[in-house]
Amino acid sequence: MKTHNLGFPRIGDNRELKRALESYWRGEASQTELLKTGARLREKNWGYQKALNYVPVGDFSFYDQVLDTSSMLGNIPARARETGGTPLDRYFRTARGQSAGDEKENQISAGEMTKWFDTNYHYIVPEFDSTTTFRLDAQSLLDQVQEAQTAGVRPKPVILGPVTYLFLGKAENFDKKTLLKNLLPEYVRLLNLLAAQDVEWVQIDEPLLVMDLDNDWKHMVDQAYQALGSGSVKIMLATYFGSLEGNLGLALSLPVHALHVDAVRGKDQVPNLVERLPEHMELSLGVIDGRNIWKTDLNALLDQLTPIHKQLGDKLWLAPSCSLLHVPVDLKIEAKLDSELLSWMAFARQKLVELDILANALTQGREIVATQLEQNATALKNRKESPRIHNPEVQARLARVDDSWGERKQPYPERIKRHKEKINLPLYPTTTIGSFPQTKEIRSLRLKFKKREIGLNDYTAGIRDQMKTTIQFQEEIGLDVLVHGEAERNDMVEYFGEQLDGFAFSQYGWVQSYGSRCVKPPILFGDVSRPRPMTVSWIVYAQSLTDKPVKGMLTGPVTILNWSFVRDDQSRADTCRQVALAIRDEVLDLEKAGVSIIQIDEAALREGLPLRKNQWDEYLNWAVGAFRITANGVNAGTQIHTHMCYSEFNDIIDAITRMDTDVITIEASRSNMEILNAFDETAYPNEIGPGVYDIHSPNVPTVDFIVDNMKEAARRIPKERLWINPDCGLKTRAWPETKAALKNLVEAARVLRTAANI
Ligand code: GLN
Ligand code: ZN
């Protein structure tokens, strides 16, 4: 039996890569220094993995593994290819773009970024068109193979497969599938080069195999591996993030030497695979969860694996389910979590230890690791029985929840009448999405408070000052529905997680989101409840400063769930409903405090969509159900808003409609309102604010741009139901551009109202 890993986090124990990259980009460190940091991190990571039979090589990246693939295949977009500097500079330029500089530098737009399957990691989307050619330059990978060999580990290069590579790319008015035939010879050359460097096994990732594929794509997979499978290097075809389902037969029919499957999310496929595994093929089972941070139940797993090991013998490999990129590096350095919580968890390094224990137990008998197995069993038992996880009140309350909890008392047409009486807004009401610029001042205030350099009173006074400025500005320029600006929040999920029971926060639990950006997901470990109001006093204060309505501002249960590491001992649906009840309490408290407009952000509702279409309904049902529990307990006079920061709605519009919010704000400026087609066709019955200010860019939208876009919107949706607002929160923007943009927004509303009256 063999052990291996599909990929290790590259950011470093202490985010060394982030620091090195950012100082290089700022021009403070040389390229040599950056390269050295890279080499050091790789060596360290291999050291962490040296108990494995094969370690991944090529999983390290200075930005993104998909961009690395583009780079290796000579498919850097033309706009960055012909620019100056070293290849690494061009690589970064592709990822990050370049703003027009003084030295006659041209502006280069950054590569598009999108989510890697259903993770929170973002890759740079490959670009294809009719002129695309490929030209292999594998030097960097070959060098790393040699580095690993020198470091004394057995390297298993990891490359992104040709079919998934094409699948992930974008091509306008061009059939990217036609590129496969040009791509395959480059992959063949690559495999030959690796073979010449004494590489025995290569891992080729084709995660597209866990998705619904049409016949064309299936055929391409077959074609690709018929071409690649005949070389002298052995191929392990890797799939992860789900089950092969209908693609299982195809995967088993390919001339590859081994197949890796996700045996956590795709546990059910294992017996079938073991039974049907062809003579020439080895099987790698990804049994350690690479997507979550809980300890594995090693004893239960051994029960499951022992007969499989008996049957497959040397043909069995064990590994984490997917690359460990999606979990933090090391629990040992964690200083913030208490020892009880720590004893329930495993980060990347601990997961590899689990793998080692499994391998030893299988090959040498469980006695050899008896102590470790016992410790594991104790930890799991403690977790299961811990009173910190179970809150009978929460469970009893959840059991009482029925459909009526998610039902508004009046239908929208009646509610709108009450809103008109109570809130009295003009045609095309203007508002923002919640946050205002998070200035240095605000951040230092929060930091000082956290470090206890200032007390609660000074902190509150400081934040209130910020809110005052923000409210005054909004009043001054004439926005209709104001916000408090979210100065008290560092992050829209963390802020709530920190105040809810059932959540914990690590100190170093960073996971790469994209490039040098990392996130530290909250850890949702137990039954969730809200000990006390979380936002009420801030909103009430903000409201006391103005006669205009101030929106209450909350994060919804689905988004909180999708951006956290979530307990795995009950269904996500139940966990989500618990969060929903906690946020519902906040909604009702805001209402009681006189707040008549409450926004509940569901920025990440779409992110949770399963990879398989046939699982969408189930997810959308509980996700929308949870949102409804949160939002719909209010009276008719209270107006509920939601915000979603994306622009794809066609395929989920029914679910969105079922949320029954009074107003939804969405991202729309970059698609020129095209996305409203979705809302138009199904006649989305309530109000909608299509974003007219792209907050991802420092550009200020002109009055004309906003007016034109809103006119475009009014062609699809009756103007009585339209709001005017930015695409998303303003927290990453600076004040000057924010001021200019919002003034234009208000002016555009004035122009539109005047035009409407004629
Ligand atoms: N209310 C949040 C803000 O304005 C929403 C952010 C988001 O949707 N990502 O920052
Ligand atoms: Zn948003």
Distance CA 118, CA 367 (A): 39
> Across residues 560-583, what is the average pLDDT?
98
Helix (H, G, I), strand (E, B) or coil at 688: strand
**CA 485 and chain centroid, separation:** 24
Confidence at 107, pLDDT banded by 50, 70, 90:
confident
Q: What is the pLDDT of residues 269-325, one digit of tens each?
A: 999 999 999 999 999 999 999 999 999 999 999 999 999 999 999 999 999 999 999
Nearest CA to ligand 1 atom 7: 603
Q: What is the pLDDT of residues 400-413, one digit of tens each?
A: 999 999 999 999 99
Q: How far is the CA of 570 from the centre of ligand 1 (A)?
A: 29
From the DSSP assignment, how many helices (H) and strands (E) are in the chain?
28, 22
Scanning the structure block, which residue is given the tokens 């703003």? 99
Nearest CA to ligand 1 atom 3: 729
Ligand nearest to the CA of 730: 1
Q: Show the ligand 1 pocket: residues with CB < 6 angstroms.
A: 433-435, 486, 492, 553, 601, 603, 643, 645, 728-729, 731
Phi and psi at 39, nearest 5°, equal: -60, -40
| Cβ count within 10 A of residue 538 | 23
| Closest ligand 1 atom to Cα of 434 | 4
Buried b (16+ CB within 10 A) or exposed e, 677-692: ebbeeeebebbbbbbb
Q: How far is the CA of 602 from the centre of ligand 1 (A)?
A: 9
Nearest CA to ligand 1 atom 10: 729
- Does 590 score more than 90 pLDDT? yes
The answer to whether 668 and 692 are in contact (CB under 8 A) is yes
| Pocket residue to mutate for ligand 1, from 728, 731, 732, most atoms within 8 A of Cβ | 728
Q: How far is the CA of 601 from the centre of ligand 2 (A)?
A: 8
CA distances from 677 to 51, 377, 714, 717 (A): 55, 54, 11, 9
Side chain identity at residue 717, one-letter code: I
pLDDT of residue 101: 63
> pLDDT exceeding 70 applies to what percent of the chain?
99
pLDDT of residue 681: 74
The answer to whether 749 and 724 are in contact (CB under 8 A) is yes
> Across residues 66-87, what is the average pLDDT?
92
Confidence at 100, pLDDT banded by 50, 70, 90:
low
Distance CA 567, CA 565 (A): 7
pLDDT of residue 137: 97
**Paired tokens of 400:** 């009482």
Nearest CA to ligand 1 atom 5: 729
> Across residues 214-225, what is the average pLDDT?
98
| Closest ligand 1 atom to Cα of 731 | 10
Q: Give the CA angle between residues 75, 77, 80 to the nearest 5°.
A: 120
54, burial (CB in 10 Å: exposed 0-12, middle 13-18, buried 19+): buried
- Does 574 score more than 60 pLDDT? yes
Residue 643 falls in the annotated catalytic set:
no
Confidence at 654, pLDDT banded by 50, 70, 90:
very high
The answer to whether 9 and 327 are in contact (CB under 8 A) is yes
Q: How far is the CA of 603 from the centre of ligand 2 (A)?
A: 6
- Does 758 score more than 70 pLDDT? no
Side chain identity at residue 490, one-letter code: N
Nearest CA to ligand 1 atom 8: 603
Ligand nearest to the CA of 552: 1
Q: Active site residue: 122, 390, 419, 696, which one? A: 696
| Closest ligand 1 atom to Cα of 729 | 4
Q: What is the pLDDT of residues 662-702, one digit of tens each?
A: 999 999 988 888 888 888 877 789 999 999 999 988 899 99
Q: How far is the CA of 435 from the centre of ligand 2 (A)?
A: 10
User: Considering the chain, what is the average pLDDT of its residues?
Assistant: 96
Helix (H, G, I), strand (E, B) or coil at 758: coil
Q: What is the pLDDT of residues 334-390, one digit of tens each?
A: 988 999 999 999 999 999 999 999 999 999 999 999 999 999 999 999 999 999 999
